[in-house]
A and B are shown apart, each in its own frame.
Chain A
């Protein structure tokens, strides 16, 4: 299934670098999500956009900055990250303009902070 595509698949960056993660969905969905998945921890919701409007912002540090230019694309801009930010970052999308819908996930970006 290639409905939700994330790039890059792997990213290694230093703490002073700036990089961006990209997510694209081809499912005609209206809501998109960013999650952080760390070892031995539950999936942590970071941000949710519905029709390009942010509807959830889950107390995420400002070094993570989301952008949703249209309902098919979602970005996560990263700057001055910390070693504890190393994790798998998953993007997901769901249909409709309301929540309570199944989410379709991408393969994730494995991020390592040196």
Chain B
């Protein structure tokens, strides 16, 4: 069935190091891949997204790469800071009209000062 797998489930890094979170999707028709950050007790917020006609997108310390052939996409955070600590969700939009969004299970990122 349709699913998005996300790894790792937990990631602990030292402040200043890089963090990488990887996702794979099953539906080859997916063409929109957003990433959301959810801090404890708060709402998920979009941090970056990528569409299937682009291989890479960068926004300051955050970058996302997409490999359509392999059906996987990754989030890269460089120079991590304690405030980057949160749960990160990848997602893929599928279905007619692209309204159906399948989320990964989330990665809990800890950035140690």
A100 touches B51 (CB 8 A): yes
Count residues on chain B whose CB falls below 8 Å from chain A CBs: 26
**Which residues from chain A contact B103 at a C-beta distance below 8 Å?**
42-45
Interface of B is mostly: strand
Closest to B100 in A: A56
Query: Which of B58-66, B69-77, B90-98 is near enough to bind chain A?
Result: B90-98
Q: Find the residue from B45, B95, B99, B105 having the highest chain A CB count within 10 A.
A: B99
In the A-B complex, the 8 residue pairs with the smallest Cβ-Cβ separation, listed nearest first, are A99-B98, A100-B98, A100-B32, A99-B99, A43-B103, A105-B43, A42-B103, A48-B99
18 new A-B pairs (CB below 8 Å) besides A43-B44, A100-B98, A106-B43? A4-B43, A42-B4, A42-B89, A42-B105, A42-B106, A43-B103, A44-B103, A45-B100, A50-B97, A55-B99, A98-B98, A99-B32, A99-B93, A99-B97, A100-B93, A101-B98, A102-B46, A107-B42
